[in-house]
Structure 1
Amino acid sequence: MSRLEFPTVPLPITRIPLEKNIRLYIKREDLIHPEISGNKYWKLFYNVNNYLNKQPNHPKFITFGGAYSNHIAAVAAVGKMMHISTLGIIRGEELSLKYQENPTLKQASENGMEYLFVTREEYRNKENISLELREKFPEALIIPEGGTNDQAVEGVCHMLNNETQEFDYLCTAVGTGGTAAGLSKFCETHQQVIGYQVVQDASVEEKVFQLSGKRNVTFLEAHDRGYGKITEENIRFINSFFQKFGIPLDPVYTGKMMKKIMEQIEEGYFPEHSSVLVFHTGGLQGIAGANERLKQQNKTEINFRN
């Protein structure tokens, strides 16, 4: 594959049956690609394709992420598909000696990604790192953490189509804000976007506005907010949700968002007879790492076996 392409088959929108008078559906963006999953595919879509249109002589993808980053995994997979070298700037220098024990970093390495491990303090100054990398690799595509930028927002527009226009609410998990910004910018005028923040970041709301130009997003806390926070309560919910509806959720984004949404429905947050569309943004690759940590703590693991 020399470019990221549009899917040939529409992604399914699955109804979640409820006893309440609310129509709840999930759009399965996680099924778009086995390794470049969900919103990561669309956030990379124009970043990668527009870059390759310039026909660089020495193409290279460089990006940033943490130990279990879906974005790191996706960029490494794109690089492997396109035979382009990749470099990941990884938060946490202690990982340099044990990254092969981390399922996400191990898989990305097997897909050809090289690493530069930096301290958390250095990582907070990613702009300085980017400037240094730009001098060293002038032809490289440097993609921000989470893939969020203007081109990512343009890519997210493809998560919307004729089937999504009828819904009253569009729900997405929020990390760096790129997906929420894309939904905000391209949704119908009658639609309300709800962003469920999985990490505490006071700057996200303004960042989403700057990217979308609209203030039509309601930001709420997802259940058990925090990238590394995985509770037994949420694991039980993820396992129960799969048993009932056959849809796997990840423990960092979609699981926390979906638990919050189900609680909101019970509490009457959504008006009766309203229609709610939840975007499954992928992230299932992170389950292996989560289960390793849960196993070490003798806790219940995520289990998608019937």
Structure 2
Amino acid sequence: MKKSFWFIMMYLIVFMISLKIFSTIVGSLVIAMFFTILIDVIASYLEKIKIPRKLTVPIASLIFYGAIVYAFYSVIPITIEESKKVFDSIAEFDFQGIPGTTGEVVNTLLDTAGDYLRNMIVQFASYLASNISNFLTIALLLIVASGYMAIASKRMWNLIDMFFPNSEIDSTKDFLIKTYSDLRKFVSGQIITALSVGVITWIMALIFGFPYALFLGILAGITDFIPYLGIFITAIPILLLGFTNFGLMGLLKGVIIITFANQLEMWVLAPRISGGQVNINWFLILTSMLIFAQLYGVVGVLITIPLLIIFKNIWKMYVVDYLKKI
């Protein structure tokens, strides 16, 4: 087996252990690296419309980070406000007219649920207040790290010899180039898919008369980068807004929006765009995602497909070649 294989495996093991021990710092750096690739891909799209390279990166960063800030700055107050409206609407129903003790039981359950919701909101607000410094530190680390990686990427490439001493440097560079190219293709496919999902959600929300339609579209696009879990994050404000504005019919409208966007992505967009770039079995992705989520939480979900791309290239470029020589 080539020496570079053992260096790569060593770095992977160190990374997995470090992510487990220093989850906040290493996780932030991983997300920053993903953001760097994503911003670079957006910048390359902007270059195609004749915007100078010096401007494309700042514009791409502004677009991406602006969308994230807008989406997550809006989702919390909207969700809390609409949740209150839901419980207020349910509380207006009179269940005392139901024969027997059923009405009393239902009202008791509603009162309990209302108290639970209020306590949860208070606890969530307290959690945010007590951890605001940590959140600001992580956000600052993400921005600084992604900016530094974008600037120093070429310089880091020149340090490969130092990280892989006494190894087959040509094969190492081939592996790194192939892996980065695959990651970039994956991110590029994800951007197109996420943009499509966001636009579809926005248009359908407008057609059904939902308030905050633009917000729902941006949220759907941003959370689409979180495989399998993003749809549940978007579903909460959609269903709440649907119920508080249109009642049970609004819930049906919300389900239609979520289902249509999800099915379109699953059967049309992802297979043709992202699936063609990754070329990894969906069941393997789902199983790996559950394992990494159990080990590393949300960061584990985000790194699943990039890690599978790395493992696939290790297998194809090192293990298969070695087995052929045996």
TM normalised by structure 1 equals 0.31
Greater strand fraction, Structure 1 or Structure 2: 1
Greater helix fraction, Structure 1 or Structure 2: 2
TM normalised by structure 2 equals 0.29
